[in-house]
A and B are shown apart, each in its own frame.
Chain A
Amino acid sequence: MVAARLEITGLRKKFGGVVALAGVDVSIDGSGITGIIGPNGSGKTTLFNVVTGAHKPTAGRVTWNGQDITALPAYRIARLGLVRTFQQAMSYPGLSVRDNVSIGFEHGRSIGSTDRRWRSPDEVLAFVGLDGLGEEVAGSMSFGNLRRLGIAVALAADPVLLLLDEPAAGLSDSEAGDLRELILRFPKMGIGVCLIDHDMALMGAVCDHFIVLNFGTKIAEGAPAEVLQNAKVLEVYLGVDL
């Protein structure tokens, strides 16, 4: 099987006069763990929004496994296996935890297929460590569990490439540790990961590739160790010693 690949060329997104993405060219390997880093407002989440069809780009092209998905509605992109999570609003707060996952199960990439990684919503819950909490109302769960649920909802839709938007934000150290273990299991299961986060310990530990954004443009990319030595990256992202 040829590895899945997400190709983004010349992607621009303007909100009124604000340029959120100023022509981004990146190619993301759909089988590894790619980290997208950059300061606040550098366009990371906008990139996710445009790629997954939540926003339409001003210009540019996105292809997934050679198919042009630039103009596709969000639900079609999700059914092609590009599934994202959200920084906030990770779940359907009024539904039970199991129903949250069932929704993804009933609508995702492999609707009607028997060849799935997980055979039931409960298996997905067990996988992310929420077993036994299926009856809970999502909105009444702890923040850490809500983060897990957000990932479970996305996994239930059977992603090929999972786009995680700040999954570690607001988590305690031990919860972030669990998250790291979870993310590291995805590539072995054939799920690629594209990850946005500010937790550099987490990013450094899981990512095999870094893409650095600043003011809507890519300023560096490559192996994590290499990128973190890059003078430009140090300057815009980590700050410079004066």
Chain B
Amino acid sequence: MSADQRRDAVTAPGFSLNTRKTGSSGWLERPPLDHIVMGVAILAFLIAFPFFNPGYRFLSLAITTGFTAIALYGLALQFGQAGIMSVGHAGIMGIGGYTAAILANQLGIGFWLALPASILLSALAAGLVGLPSLRVGGQHYIIITFCFCALLVIALTNGGDFTGAATGLDVGPIAGPFGINLAKLRNMYYLVMLALVVSLVLTYVIVHSPYGRTLWAIRENEPLARAVGINTNFHKIGVFALSGAFAGAAGILQTYYLRHISPPLYGAFPSLYLALMVMLGGARPLYGPLLGAIIVTFLPEVGGLDPIDSRIAYGVGLLLVILLLPAGVSGGLLGLYRSMIGRQRRAEKG
């Protein structure tokens, strides 16, 4: 990314995560109006979606999109804010998923009690996997995360009855509060969407808090960050752990949605897909990860592509995005919105 592009991304109005309104005295300033409008529109759509009679297939895809997007918000924090990409994110989801499944199978612990355990263990695992990033950067670190996924799959496959080996583990349905039946697809959809909205809000808050600014400073100029007293290593591991917490929540939701998990779900390939989605959608605009998840999840269905075709489409799509829209599809849309606003303003000035 050239300095100019970065500057553009930074000064862009609208839905970018990094449009920081400065000068307010509060800890967290009120989001600008277009953020709120967009947020309400998305929320309304999410609530209304099941009433359009999407059918079993599309509702399932929407749920998949939901928990995938939650994991992507974690990856977007790590990649977009701290500038460190990883292809081990599905592995971290797996830690969350298997934590829940093992707790259910060994101790009979259900979804709600397992939820904090999954989040915590995933955060811990992500922090540990993040440690080498303090020494190796860029593509070298990506290879390490790739190896983590491969090792995790081997470990899970050889875990005997404890991990269910290659067959994996089953879990029961979520015991819904107030007698809500979460085995019903529509209710599961609302649970996942609730979690997605929470993730979105959390991401917004993190990015716009002083902590987000600290992460940004580290990404922009690490030596200077250290020179003014920022414990950069601590914050980098911290953002990995945070990213892992999102993945953990996504992992347990996936587990209780599928009701059966097995090692291949968490290998290097699913991880690559997550990385693809973040880059496709755009890591830094607030709705980028969501857009990435929607595109990749729905593309084969809507476009009628078989698995081989869709892989080719993803590959070509990713190349096009990297070449033409370095800030992702959402970044490209943002640019379009910006130039339209600019043209309108110029027209008004006449």
Contacts and interface: CB of A to CB of B under 8 A. Distances in A.
Contact of A74 (B9, B18, B20, B227): B227
Interface in B205-233: 210, 213-214, 216-217, 220-221, 223-233
A107 B213 CA distance: 12
Contacts of B224: 86, 89-92, 153
Grouping DSSP codes into helix (H, G, I), strand (E, B) and loop, the B interface class, with mixed when no group exceeds half, is: helix
Interface stretch (A5-13, A98-106, A173-181, A232-240): A98-106
B223 A134 contact: no
A75 interface: yes
Interface in A65-117: 73-75, 78-79, 83-86, 89-96, 98-100, 102-104, 106-109, 111
A86 B225 CA distance: 11
A103 B22 contact: no
A103 B10 contact: no
B216 A78 contact: no
B23 A95 contact: no
A73 B229 CA distance: 10
A93 B225 CA distance: 12
B221 A91 contact: yes
B6 A139 contact: yes
A73 B3 CA distance: 30
A107 B216 contact: no
B22 A98 contact: yes
B227 A107 contact: no
Contacts of A95: 10, 20, 213, 216-217, 220
Contact of B20 (A96, A111, A139): A96
B11 interface: yes
B308 to A, nearest CB: 40
B213 A75 contact: no
B229 A157 contact: yes
A54 interface: yes
A94 B7 contact: yes
Contacts of A214: none
A31 interface: no
Nearest to A111: B229
Contacts, number: 108
Contacts of B227: 52, 54, 74, 78, 83-86, 154, 157
Contact of B228 (A93, A96, A98, A153): A153
A75 B226 contact: yes
A78 B229 CA distance: 5
A188 B6 CA distance: 40
Given A95-B220, A108-B228, A109-B229, A140 B7 contact: yes
A140 B3 CA distance: 9
A228 interface: no
Nearest to B25: A120
Given A139-B7, A154-B227, A93 B23 contact: no
A134 B25 CA distance: 13
A79 B229 contact: yes
Contact of B210 (A106, A137, A156): A106
A91 B225 CA distance: 9
A135 interface: yes
Given A99-B213, A153-B224, A93 B229 contact: no
Contacts of B23: 98, 134-135
Contacts of B226: 53-54, 73-75, 78
Nearest to B6: A94
Given A91-B221, A92-B221, A75 B230 contact: yes
Contact of B225 (A83, A103, A109): A103
A108 B20 contact: no
Nearest to B220: A92
Interface in B86-134: none
Contact of B223 (A54, A102, A106): A54
Given A74-B226, A89-B223, A92-B220, A106 B22 contact: no
Nearest to B234: A75
A96 B7 contact: no
Interface string A130-167: 00001101011000000000000110110000000000
Contact of A94 (B10, B229, B232): B10
Contacts of A103: 213-214, 217, 225, 228, 230
Given A89-B223, A111-B229, 13 more contacts: A53-B226, A74-B226, A75-B231, A78-B226, A78-B228, A83-B229, A94-B6, A96-B22, A100-B217, A107-B228, A107-B229, A108-B229, A135-B23
23 contacts: A73-B226, A73-B233, A74-B223, A86-B224, A89-B221, A91-B221, A92-B216, A93-B3, A93-B221, A94-B6, A95-B216, A96-B22, A100-B217, A102-B210, A103-B214, A103-B217, A103-B228, A106-B213, A134-B22, A137-B7, A139-B7, A157-B227, A157-B228
Interface of B: 3, 6-7, 9-11, 18, 20, 22-23, 210, 213-214, 216-217, 220-221, 223-233
4 shortest interchain CB distances as A-B pairs: A92-B220, A74-B226, A78-B229, A157-B228
